[in-house]
Amino acid sequence: MKKVVLKTFAVVMCLAMVACVFAGCGKKHTAYVIGATGPLTGDAASYGISVKNGAELAIDQINEAGGLNGVKFEFEMMDDVADAKNVTAAYDSLVKKGMQISIGSVTSGACEQFANLSKDDNLFFMTPSASAASCIKASNAYRICFGDPDQGVLSAQELTKTYSKIGVIYNSDDPYSSGIFSAFKDEMGKLDKAFVEAPFTNDSKNVFTTQLQKLKGEGCDVVFLPIYYQEASLIIKEAKTLSYTADIFGCDGLDGIVKYLAEDAEGSELIKGVRYLTPFDVNSTDEKVSAFVSAYKDKYGVEPDQFAADGYDAIMVIYEAMKKAGVDNVNISMSELCDKVKEVINGDFTYVGATGSMTWNAAGEPTKAPQIVTIK
């Protein structure tokens, strides 16, 4: 009988230990743990590193000010290389590290998978920069950046004020690019305005001769680029070789193109006059923006881009919401914390930060004013 009891006890203990590991439970916190995934290596690493830097600056400032009722914060970010296939393992690692709340993932494809996983756990996340509509379908998901539909609609409204023949080059394989284009197309239809589209795919994103020749042949006087700055820089250079002088207009994916081409004298000259939608202007004289830019430069020695500002604001929103919710238990579960933070953000809550003044609707979308930045 004693052997049976001992074996039964051993089995129960083993099962409890396994459950504890996979749930991240049993971990006694000494700080609130905020988790995230993002590209820290690979082609999109600049986005992830900027978000990480901005987030860590916010963590430093919060902790230097005493944390939340004397309890500090920790930030853990796992590399997902901007690939959804890597998110599950990264998410599981964050859970084991005791993640209680999150800023989700940096890029849309990865964040879609993060959203799927976090929904079942009722983990609150405020993604800084994943703009696809699918990223925040669940009630636990919110974002700092503009959504793709917002950018598409605003771009259509802005471009039709000035231009008679609009061309669009977009990536039909990318959720960010195709999401903006879809909303742009719908809005152009509502405005009863025609445009010329010239898509590309992930397999053909290094040469754009076909697309540019099509738009030039159609007489497009502006090229709308709802894409990331790596491809945009190639398009702008190739347009020069084709003697195509149309204006260039983009969305927040172009933020960072100046830094990207900093060592390229020709490229830096060619992008002068390019305009793009963004919630963040590094040259703004706004007090909040200036303070953030100054602190970021002091810490990292470079100017922040929009992704850094988004990462900073995402952390600060979580902190301010937790403070307003009266959170005072460092061992609070992720689900309970999610419910408390949601109640605050869905209520009378406004945050003013590096990317402007914002509120959120129940769908997790921010309401804030866009800016159009012209590269000089």
Collapsed DSSP state (helix, strand, coil) of residue 310: helix
Domain of residue 268 covers 148-278
pLDDT, tens only, 113-131 = 999 999 999 999 999 999 8
Q: Are residues 305 and 185 in the same domain?
A: no
Q: Are residues 132 and 169 in the same domain?
A: no
Nearby residues of 157 by Cβ (< 8 Å), 6 or more positions away = 187, 191
Arithmetic mean of pLDDT, 17-27: 46
Asked, for residue 9, whether it belongs to a domain, the answer is: no
Q: Are residues 272 and 326 in the same domain?
A: no
Q: Quick one: tokens of 239?
A: 């347009």
Q: Are residues 258 and 160 in the same domain?
A: yes
More confident residue, 167 or 257: 167
Asked, for residue 8, whether it belongs to a domain, the answer is: no
Last-in-domain residue among 263, 278, 293: 278
Q: Are residues 47 and 117 in the same domain?
A: yes
pTM summary value: 0.82
Mean pLDDT, rounded, of the chain: 91
**From CA 182, how far away is CA 136, in angstroms rounded?**
18
Arithmetic mean of pLDDT, 24-52: 89
pLDDT, tens only, 132-189 = 889 999 999 999 998 888 899 999 999 999 999 999 999 999 988 999 999 999 999 9
pLDDT score for 12: 43
Q: Are residues 167 and 255 in the same domain?
A: yes
**From CA 47, how far away is CA 197, in angstroms rounded?**
27
Asked, for residue 328, whether it belongs to a domain, the answer is: yes
Asked, for residue 217, whether it belongs to a domain, the answer is: yes
**From CA 304, how far away is CA 312, in angstroms rounded?**
10
**From CA 118, how far away is CA 136, in angstroms rounded?**
11
Asked, for residue 373, whether it belongs to a domain, the answer is: no
Arithmetic mean of pLDDT, 70-82: 98
Last-in-domain residue among 221, 250, 278: 278
The residue count of the chain comes to 376
pLDDT score for 255: 83
Arithmetic mean of pLDDT, 278-305: 94
Asked, for residue 14, whether it belongs to a domain, the answer is: no
Q: Give the CATH number, domain containing residue 213.
A: 3.40.50.2300
Q: How confident is the model at residue 227 (pLDDT cuts 50, 70, 90)?
A: very high
Q: Are residues 263 and 324 in the same domain?
A: no
DSSP string, 99-129: --EEEEESSHHHHHHHHHHHHHHT--EEESS
Asked, for residue 118, whether it belongs to a domain, the answer is: yes
User: Angle at which helices 229-241 and 209-217 pack, to 10 degrees?
Assistant: 60
**From CA 128, how far away is CA 143, in angstroms rounded?**
6
Domain count, the chain: 2
Q: How confident is the model at residue 14 (pLDDT cuts 50, 70, 90)?
A: very low
Q: How confident is the model at residue 24 (pLDDT cuts 50, 70, 90)?
A: very low
pLDDT, tens only, 310-344 = 999 999 999 999 999 999 999 999 999 999 999 99
Q: Are residues 250 and 313 in the same domain?
A: no
pLDDT score for 265: 86
* Percent of the chain whose pLDDT exceeds 90: 81
Last-in-domain residue among 244, 278, 312: 278
Asked, for residue 55, whether it belongs to a domain, the answer is: yes
How far lies 63's CA from each of 75, 95, 100, 269, in Å? 11, 22, 17, 42
Q: Are residues 263 and 190 in the same domain?
A: yes
Q: How confident is the model at residue 103 (pLDDT cuts 50, 70, 90)?
A: very high
Residue 44 main-chain phi, psi, to 5 deg: -100, 15
Q: Are residues 158 and 258 in the same domain?
A: yes
Arithmetic mean of pLDDT, 58-64: 98
Q: Are residues 177 and 101 in the same domain?
A: no
Q: Are residues 291 and 340 in the same domain?
A: yes
pLDDT score for 26: 52
pLDDT score for 143: 96
